[in-house]
Amino acid sequence: MTVQNSNEILRKILAAMGSVPPQVYAPGDDTFLMVDAVATLSVEGKNVLDVGTGTGILGLYCALCGAHVTAADIDEVAIRHTADAAQLLGVELKLVVSDLFSNIHSQFDLVLFNPPYLPSEGAHDGTVDGGSGGRDLIVRFLEQLPAHLQKDGSAFLLVSSLNNPNTLRKSYYNFKFSTVAKRALFFEDLEVLRVRLRNDLSI
């Protein structure tokens, strides 16, 4: 995918999205870094799950690239907003209200999660509050992830220097973590980690 094509797809999505309801997370630097990471892959024909879809931007992006997409969020308003944008764009997504994987019963080639990742002390709402150390949601996600990955599947997970991602690397030996995209902001460093099961790797 060229940068030009990727930007064109994003422009279409942002136009269809219109104004974002106040309780839904509006796309930010973290979102666009996830888009950059996804744009490194060819997702056409792949089964993709977008966990915590918010405005639906990541799921819609993959759907416009030809993926079969399930988009999930704990917030019904976010799911309704995503449904409206999908209709305007003429793409079909499976939309599910779900606490992480609680209502997801299949396996995917690619699972995306831009989680609420701020430590609770600095967070002001559920779209950004990642609990203690900013890692509670991420830990729950990683515990449940293996049951939802196809063989050779992977997840793209957004982490921040604010939630100390090295702790994850040290705690989860069953996963191999690699960096797909990173960006330094003035108050944090963002990184998209590719997460794969070590059992699936030949080396």
Cα 109-59-38 angle, rounded to 5 deg: 60
Placement of tokens 């080639």 in the chain? 109
Q: Quote the strand ranges of the chain, DSSP E.
A: 47-51, 68-73, 94-97, 108-113, 149-160, 175-184, 189-197
- Using the minimum distance from each CB to ligand SAM, give the nearer residue, 102 or 199: 102
# binding residues, ligand SAM (CB under 6 A): 24
- The amino acid occupying position 80 is R
Q: Using CB under 6 A, which of 16, 17, 58, 64 touches ligand SAM? A: 58
Q: Identify which range of 25-33, 60-68, 177-185, 190-198 contacts ligand SAM by CB under 6 A.
A: 25-33
Stretch of 37-45, 53-61, 171-179, 183-191 contacting ligand SAM, by CB under 6 A: 53-61
* 70 contributes a contact to ligand SAM by CB under 6 A: no
Tokens representing 203?
């080396």
Residue of 13, 50, 15 whose CA lies nearest to 34? 50
Phi (first) and psi of residue 184, to 5 degrees: -95, 125
Site string for ligand SAM, 73-112 (x = CB under 6 A): xxx--x--------------------xx------------
Stretch 119-148: interaction string toward ligand SAM, x if CB under 6 A: -------xxx--------x-----------
Q: Identity (one letter) of the amino acid at 83?
A: A
Q: Which of 9, 47, 52, 138 binds ligand SAM (CB under 6 A)?
A: 52
* Cβ at position 46, least distance to ligand SAM in Å: 18
Interaction of residue 118 with ligand SAM, rule CB under 6 A: no
* Cα separation, 85 vs 35, whole angstroms: 17
Of 129, 103, 96, nearest in space to 115 by CA:
129
In total, the chain counts a number of residues equal to 203
Q: Which residues bind ligand SAM (CB under 6 A)?
A: 25, 27, 31, 34, 51-55, 57-58, 73-75, 78, 99-100, 114-116, 126-128, 137
